[in-house]
Each structure stands twice: as C-alpha cells, then as structure tokens.
Amino acid sequence: MSTTTLRVRHAPGFRVNAARLLPAALAALPVADIARVALPAGNETCVAADLFDIARAESEAVALVIEGDVPWLDHVGAQLDEGTLTVRGACGDYAGFRMNGGALRIEGDAGRFTGCEMRGGRLTVTGNSDAFAAGALPGDMEGMTGGTLTIHGHAGARLADRMRRGLVLVGGDAGECAASRMAAGTVGIAGRAGAHYGYGMRRGTLLLLQAPATLPPTFTEGGRGFDVFWSLLVRSFAQEIAPFSALRGAPLPRRYAGDLAVDGRGELLVMR
C-alpha cells in the first residue's frame, strides 16, 4: 500500500480535468509514469509533472493527497470507487462526480456540482460548496443516488436537485431551491434555507434545524406518529457533523408533507 502526494508547483492559468488522478490508478504506477499522465485542459493536454511535484511513501492504505489550493482543477475524485483522496485546499467543479465508493475529503471550498450524480462512498467538504451539490447534470433525470455528502460550511443553490437516495448534511446555510424535485433520500440543513426549498419535492426527507420565516404554500401539516423513524434518523447522525451529531434526545420536530403541487409525498421536518 502507498500514498501518492501531488504538491502544486504553480497555477496553470487554465482549467484542468483531474479525472485520471485516482488513488488506486496512481498506486499501480511508478512515480516516473505518474509524471507523464496526460490531463485534459480544454482543447489541449498537459502532464502531471507540469503541475505537481510528485512523491510516494509507504502507508497502510491506498491514498492520494493533493497539497495546495487547486480551484482550477475540476473532476477531482470523479468516479472514485476505492481508496482515499484528500485535497488540502480548495478545488474546482465536479468534485466527486459520479463517485461510487472510497472517501474524498476537500479541506477547503469546492466549486459547482460537488457530488453531482454521486452513487456511493463518502465526500466531505470542510468549507463551502457552490451550486448544484448532490444534483444532476442539466438534462439528466437523477442527481445523487447513494453515499454520504457532508458540507461543513454553506451550500449554493439547487442543493440535492433531483436527489434519489443517500444522505446530504450542510452545517451552514443553503441557497435557493434546496431539495428541489427530490425523489428520495435525506437532506439536513443546519443553517438557513433559501427561497423555494422543497420545490417539486416528491418523496424523501428534508430536515431544517432552523425554523424558516415562511413555509411553502404547497406543504401541509403532516401529523404525528413518526417517533420511531425520528429516533432511528438521529441515531444515524451520531457520527456525522455537528450539530446533527447532537440531535439524539431532541424533541420531535414539526412535520409537514408536500410538495402537493406534484402530488408529493415528501417530508419536511422543522425543529421547534
């Protein structure tokens, strides 16, 4: 087992696609071959050695570490299915795109479409994430379908758009249309939710830890009798980010159902 470290030499001045930089794939290559890995950059290509200093060390697991801010580096961890990938800084768009397994950790901010169409694994963003996190590509019918995405900071607009399965937790605020067109899964927002949250929601659970100023007009009182579900839900949060990890023992939230404009059977839970 080994850890490959890529230290940023300089920002290239153009966007680069990092989809080929995966832990298991690089672990199978000698360092000299990693230096020659071609990375798409618009209509051109560059090689890894143009951008990074490359090092290899023995470790207990297959891992890849990218050291430095790389806001110009897109598709970090795209289709990741094993190993651990850590970015010690900010990264670009499409981080964790269609990842199936493994762990991706971004120690900084992430761009748009973080966890887009994610299918499995764990994706952690310690900073903020831009729009369409856990969502779908324009024209696609399914967003996130599995795995866990945690954003410690704020999330942009259209969080979990068309989400179908999985868990998304946001420690800060979320932009407009959070959980829009959601089909299933669980989304939790610790801060404020922007306008039009739950728009077109068909199924799934949206948990708001801060009571919103207004409720959507297409949601109605959902009644009681969900004590067991609530106890299981908060138990599943025990190892997740604060303040969700501290919900065990909290009183039952208010429950609403919607979006009734689409005959929705979604569940909106609002802490008292």
Mean pLDDT score, 59-81: 96
Average confidence score pLDDT of the chain: 96
pLDDT digits (tens, 9 = 90+) for 8-31: 998 999 999 999 999 999 999 999
Q: Are strands 186-189 and 165-170 parallel, antiparallel or unpaired?
A: parallel
Q: What is the model's pTM?
A: 0.96
**Are both 34 and 146 inside the same structural domain?**
no
| For residue 40, pLDDT beyond 80 | yes
**Are both 156 and 26 inside the same structural domain?**
no
**Are both 50 and 80 inside the same structural domain?**
no
**Are both 58 and 93 inside the same structural domain?**
no
**Res. 132 pLDDT band, cuts 50 70 90:** very high
pLDDT of residue 60: 87
- Beta carbons of 172 and 243 less than 8 angstroms apart: no
**Are both 112 and 182 inside the same structural domain?**
yes
For the beta carbon of residue 239, count every other beta carbon within 10 angstroms: 8
| For residue 272, pLDDT beyond 80 | no
**Are both 135 and 241 inside the same structural domain?**
yes
Give the domain-ending residue among 11, 46, 62: 62
Domain count across the chain: 2
Q: Which CATH number does the domain housing residue 199 bear?
A: 2.160.20.60
Cα(99)–Cα(113) distance, integer angstroms? 12
Query: What is the b/e burial string over 208-222, where b = at least 16 CB atoms within 10 angstroms of the residue's CB?
Result: bbeebeebbebbeeb
Which helix or strand (DSSP H or E) is residue 49 part of?
Answer: helix 48-51
**Are both 30 and 150 inside the same structural domain?**
no
**Are both 26 and 107 inside the same structural domain?**
no
Query: What is the b/e burial string over 21-59, where b = at least 16 CB atoms within 10 angstroms of the residue's CB?
Result: bbbebbbeeeeeebeebebbbeeeeeebbebbebeeeee
Q: Provide the residue range defining the domain that includes 92.
A: 68-270
Mean pLDDT score, 194-216: 96
Q: What is the CA radius of gyration of the chain?
A: 20
**Are both 27 and 138 inside the same structural domain?**
no
**Are both 183 and 79 inside the same structural domain?**
yes
pLDDT digits (tens, 9 = 90+) for 136-187: 999 999 999 999 999 999 999 999 999 999 999 999 999 999 999 999 999 9
DSSP assignments along 117-167, one per residue: T--SSEEEESS-B-TTTT---TT-S---EEEEEEESS-B-TTTTTT--EEE
- Beta carbons of 153 and 128 less than 8 angstroms apart: yes
**Are both 127 and 172 inside the same structural domain?**
yes
**Are both 154 and 177 inside the same structural domain?**
yes
